[in-house]
Amino acid sequence: MTRIRWKTLLVALVVMCGLMSMACGATSSGDVKLGVPYHAQAQGSLDCGPASVQMWTDYDYGFYPSQQEIATWMGGTCSGVSEDTLAAAVNQFTRTDDAYWDFDAPSNVEAFMARQITSIDNYTPVIAIIDFKHAGVVNGGKWHQEGNWYQWDYTYFHDPEVRANDDYPSARWHLVNCPPGQICSQIISTIMTQGWVQNQNSYGDQIYDSSGCGGGGGCTPENQY
């Protein structure tokens, strides 16, 4: 796996589309995947939370408890427990012992995504809450180069209800992970996100969502939030 370097990779997502002034035309591209094993939630269940913890545990140890065991420890299912309980389950079953519920306003999505990508850069999964109700594991993303910048185009999301590596264009990922009128929400490690401020400040307001910006036409209407 190619390690993401913040000093050389422009992590895409967010708002300053009009600041791109370099010539378009990708010269390289690649996928970044942690290799988190995929586990679907039990058919007919609401156990997306336990399934997400199970995936993280399998990634760390190569073995895992049943979703029922995790759900029992959590005291409910995906729709029946709090995000704090989900974080506590990560601390209980995985190698991570400092997971917490990270939430932010959509207006602060740049900082939120900086923390998410910093964790991936440190080979540590993130449990993302999408549509303010459903949990799954961020397994990496896809990038391409435009001029001197490396841009994040897709997020790979292990959706326990749908499929492994469900690929979300960065603009769409912004809308599901930070739903309008709701909050950005994820379960993430404290220590594995240290340095996210410096990472974000490396680019400041030059971070933007690259989906639709390539190929010589600049940003398209689909790129606007």
Walk along the chain (225 residues) in steps of 10 and give the mean pLDDT of each run: 37 31 46 93 85 97 94 77 92 97 91 88 93 93 69 88 93 90 95 81 48 45 35
| Separation between Cα atoms, residue 36 and residue 39, nearest integer Å | 9
pLDDT at 190: 94
Confirm whether 178 is domain-assigned: yes
Backbone angles phi, psi at 155, to 5 degrees: -110, 130
Which CATH number is 82's domain given? 3.90.70.10
DSSP summary character for residue 176: H
| Residue 142 token pair | 């896809």
| Separation between Cα atoms, residue 196 and residue 6, nearest integer Å | 10
Confirm whether 223 is domain-assigned: no
Name the residue range of residue 149's domain: 17-215
pLDDT at 192: 92
Task: Write a three-state SS string for 29-78.
Answer: EEEEECCCCCCCCCCCCCCHHHHHHHHHHHHHHCCCCCHHHHHHHHCCCC
Of the CA atoms within 13 Å of residue 172, those in its CB half-sphere come to 10
Task: Please count the structural domains in the chain.
Answer: 1
Confirm whether 7 is domain-assigned: no
pTM assigned to the model: 0.78
Confirm whether 6 is domain-assigned: no
Contact status, residue 64 vs residue 79, Cβ threshold 8 Å: no
pLDDT at 107: 87
pLDDT at 201: 65
